[in-house]
Amino acid sequence: MKKQTNVPQSDVFAEALLQRTIKTTLSEDIQPKIYQKKVLITGAGGSIGSEICRQVYALQPAEIILVGHGENSIYLIQHELMNWTNQTIKITAAIQEIQDKKGIRRLMEKVQPDFVFHAAAHKHVPLMQNNPHSAVANNIIGTKNVAEAAGEVGVETFVLVSTDKAVEPQNVMGASKRIAEMIVAHFNHNYETNYTTVRFGNVLASRGSVVPLFLKQIEKGGPLTLTDPEMTRYFMTIEEAASLVVKAGTMTNGGDIFVLNMGDAVKIKDIAERLITMSDKQNIAIQYTGIRDGEKLHEGLLEMEERVQMEETEEMFIGKAVITAEYLIDDLLLNYENLAKDALTIELLKIANRHKAHIPMEV
């Protein structure tokens, strides 16, 4: 059973759009590691979080704890899972803000999860560019609260869902996620919990992503709006993204960064043209609007330092997290509320790009 979206969900559609084979990273050997365990998922009502819930459910855990601040989205995924066939899996819903440190700690102490998949985040680049204080509060402080509570209660494995925009970031969203990765890397040395990060490319049908936008624009007769004809991105399906998170959680011993092998980056212009070709409306124009503040033409997947001990399989790349000066993050979190928007943006980018002299190699 799959949640309905505006985007066709078949692998045939995705493969035609991306011109590559869709990867199934879940395999039978990980099932015993999730079986009869307690799994807590933040952002459980979102596009990625809800698919993680579905894939974890199939592995027969003892309990899935659905965490989110959106009452309706958490209700929907709870209702969906509770109507599936395996009635022995306990489904617990928790309406909980990740920015509430005491609330998160209280929840962790109550449910005592074995695995935490942290998918809750603000992810929209233009919105976060204009709201850096919210990016800090949710993506950095929220991550710190969940990750720290996980370590304090003895969670076995914590997985942070991150983004390729965290590699040498040029925008607030990417910088906030990069700093969240730094926090997780530090906690991997401070607690017995195995902390790891999974970096996504663009997720094909997630809320607010480019493909649903293009489909709406096609339905209206166009034009399709693109920022630049040369812009490229790495793409993955929701199912690929969720399965990478789950598999990373069962593979890691801590301190890793997992990236799906998504093949070559794809021109967004090519995605737009393929969607137009697939539609029954062929006379649709493409309009270029110019690169937005903080956007890159091309994204990387791993920084040079992360590749020193990199493992590569047919399915994924596994790099090693780099430890940075913890006091920089502590100072930021103590003072960010007193900084004006532009000053905070500069500070975020400065901390996140502490290896600015190194240029990330393309995978």
Q: Where are the beta strands (DSSP E) in the chain?
A: 38-42, 63-68, 90-95, 115-118, 157-163, 194-200, 202-203, 224-226, 232-233, 235-236, 256-260, 266-267, 286-288, 311-312, 316-320
- Report the distance separating Cα 123 and Cα 157, nearest Å: 23
Written as six digits, the tokens of 50 are: 């809800």
Mean pLDDT (whole number) for 268-281:
89
Query: Within 13 Å of residue 336, how many CA atoms lie on the same side as its CB?
Result: 23
pTM for this one? 0.91
Closest CA to 296 of 148, 99, 164: 164
Where residue 9 falls among pLDDT bands split at 50, 70, 90?
low
pLDDT one-digit tens code per residue, 76-105: 999 999 999 888 999 999 999 999 999 999
For position 361, what pLDDT does the model report?
Answer: 36
The one catalytic residue among 38, 165, 177, 296: 165
350 in catalytic set? no
Q: Is 289 helix (H, G, I), strand (E, B) or coil?
A: coil
CATH superfamily of 24-204+236-265+300-363: NAD(P)-binding Rossmann-like Domain (3.40.50.720)
For position 27, what pLDDT does the model report?
Answer: 62
pLDDT one-digit tens code per residue, 312-353: 887 889 999 888 888 999 999 999 999 999 999 999 999 999
For position 210, what pLDDT does the model report?
Answer: 87
